[in-house]
């Protein structure tokens, strides 16, 4: 999605719940398929780097204060 004020935005869904999860190489234990979660996160990180998009993590109130 591309917004007028922020430019491109990637909405994380439940792939990440908090920004700190982006710095870990482990998926949450409750994930049904941890390998797929990690693969999806890697794909999203590559897209963010390539596109310059902003990541919006729905459970992070700081995301919305800065938008």
Cα 21 to Cα 12, 24, 41, 58, distances in angstroms: 12, 6, 10, 13
Q: Where are the domains of the chain?
A: 2-58
Cα 27 from Cα 20, distance rounded (Å): 12
**Three-state SS annotation for 30-67:** CCCCHHHHHHHHHHHHHHHHHHCCEEECCCCHHHHHCC
Write out pLDDT tens, residues 8-57.
999 988 888 888 888 888 887 777 888 898 999 999 999 999 999 999 98
Whether 64 shows a pLDDT value over 80: the answer reads no
**Closest of 19, 16, 40 to residue 28, by C-alpha:** 16
């Amino acid at each position: 999605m591309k917004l007028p004020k922020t430019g491109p935005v990637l909405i994380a869904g439940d792939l990440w719940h908090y920004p700190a999860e982006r710095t870990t190489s482990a998926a949450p234990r409750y994930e049904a398929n941890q390998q797929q979660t990690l693969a999806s996160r890697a794909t999203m990180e590559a897209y963010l780097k390539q596109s310059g998009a902003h990541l919006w993590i729905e459970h992070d109130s700081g995301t919305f204060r800065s938008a």
